[in-house]
Chain A
């Protein structure tokens, strides 16, 4: 399970303008893992993802496959296989499902895009049925699937998923968790950012708990689920 370190973050500081949000984050993600990052609203989870994707400036250590990410533009980081499924799906609402998926492969110059379409449609059969529909007209769950499928079209090495379960019915979230395991089985490493701790702990190997820009707990999901502080704060089932 624990392969080479894919993503290494140490002492990472980042923020917006003069407002610091992250105060020295340490996280590592290994090949083939599903790692989740949980924390309440405003903890800085999305900011961390933006820093990893190189959308906002940051300082500290940020390495992907042993190469420094900090000097890279968002496009260059994307080309290295660091692909994000943004919060709120951010689909191209006026374009069809198929066109959205094609945009995931926009930077790819290889000939295997057709195979990627097959792979993605096998994971999400509903998207194959809906491929001519406008992405903006689908249900929230289908849109989340489309957003994840679009990311897979980019051939990611590390998939960053921001608030996968936000606004979705529990039964849909369960489906997505099953698909997430299948995605991992395809050899894609996943960093999942979630407010829904139940969902995140259900699928992840390890977890980090974030509060006000700091990592306050980390460990195997099984251990953290028994941690008193975590249970009290996030699972609401103390005792």
Chain B
């Protein structure tokens, strides 16, 4: 029974992990940018949700929707004004500039929001319910549902909407996409905006489950990176699945080895995947 409970916790946490990685995988797959500032954008989204919640009293889940719109704008402008300069350049350039961006966002956040721990704490924060003899924490369950819903929305956009077709087309063949009238600068900005909006949603959910500080970005980037590699870059549901795999592994590691080993496990999983199925992951990357 303890094991079942741990598995459930891992799955619920994994859904959120998957959502964290979703934006990174999208940007990586389409723009070929490994965005080292992705975790910082998650952090920023968390603070946006926190301040909307604190100042307006809006329900955090509604605040997440508002924050996604704001974060879309932030991402659009970042890509259009800055990252479009390096979008087709060498990998090192994209790593350098996004690493710089990570530092700037982190210290801007420290300056604006202070280094104090913040938690998004609605009245129902501690609520939970029972199912099949297991305790289901309400917020984590809701976060899991939101993650699945956003992955489904992204899948629908990419596979059923003209904009999504253009995004996939551009990632597969830039020359042909340009020949058929896609303006890559705008398209890249929209794609990065979507990725940032997803990061913002993940940040809001993270802030309801854990503490927000300006310094969470780097470790969230690392986790997102691992999950994007495991889940691949093309199918949103696979990314969520990758998140669940990591979530379960971390929960089991916490149970058997202690919480300090959870990061070891997620990166160990990355090494394992690269050793066992390198072709699939390389093709994705």
Task: Please tell me which one of the listed residues A55, A78, A86, A93 contacts residue B181 in the complex, with CB atoms under 8 A apart.
Answer: A78
Nearest chain-B residue to A154 (Cβ)? B180
Distance of A90 Cα from B162 Cα, bound (Å): 19
Contact B168 A92 (CB under 8 A): yes
Interface centre among A79, A94, A150, by most B CB within 10 Å? A94
Task: Please tell me which one of the listed residues B165, B183, B234 contacts residue A75 in the complex, with CB atoms under 8 A apart.
Answer: B183
Contact B165 A102 (CB under 8 A): yes
Flag whether B177 is at the interface (Cβ < 8 A).
yes
Distance of A103 Cα from B166 Cα, bound (Å): 7
Contact code string B161-183 (vs A, CB < 8 Å = 1, else 0): 01001101100110111111111
- B-chain residues with CB within 8 Å of residue A90 when the two chains form the complex: 173, 175-176, 179
Count, chain A residues at interface, CB 8 A: 23
Flag whether A218 is at the interface (Cβ < 8 A).
no
Count, chain B residues at interface, CB 8 A: 17
Flag whether A215 is at the interface (Cβ < 8 A).
no
- B-chain residues with CB within 8 Å of residue A165 when the two chains form the complex: none
Distance of A94 Cα from B162 Cα, bound (Å): 16
- B-chain residues with CB within 8 Å of residue A84 when the two chains form the complex: 179
Contact code string A196-218 (vs B, CB < 8 Å = 1, else 0): 00000000000000000000000
Main secondary structure of the interface of B (DSSP, over half): helix
Distance of A107 Cα from B166 Cα, bound (Å): 10
Contact code string A68-87 (vs B, CB < 8 Å = 1, else 0): 00000011001100011010
- B-chain residues with CB within 8 Å of residue A150 when the two chains form the complex: 180
Contacts known (A103-B165, A103-B166); A94 close to B172, Cβ less than 8 A: yes
Contacts known (A94-B168, A95-B168, A99-B165); A106 close to B173, Cβ less than 8 A: no
Distance of A99 Cα from B180 Cα, bound (Å): 13
Flag whether A104 is at the interface (Cβ < 8 A).
yes
Contact B172 A104 (CB under 8 A): no
Interface residues of A in 77-132 (CB under 8 A from B): 78-79, 83-84, 86, 90-95, 99, 102-104, 106-107
Flag whether A144 is at the interface (Cβ < 8 A).
no
- A-chain residues with CB within 8 Å of residue B183 when the two chains form the complex: 75
List 7 tightest A-B contacts by C-beta distance, closest first.
A107-B181, A90-B176, A78-B181, A92-B172, A92-B169, A75-B181, A103-B169
Q: Which B residues have a C-beta under 8 Å from some C-beta of A?
A: 162, 165-166, 168-169, 172-173, 175-183, 234
Q: Which A residues have a C-beta under 8 Å from some C-beta of B?
A: 53, 55, 74-75, 78-79, 83-84, 86, 90-95, 99, 102-104, 106-107, 150, 154
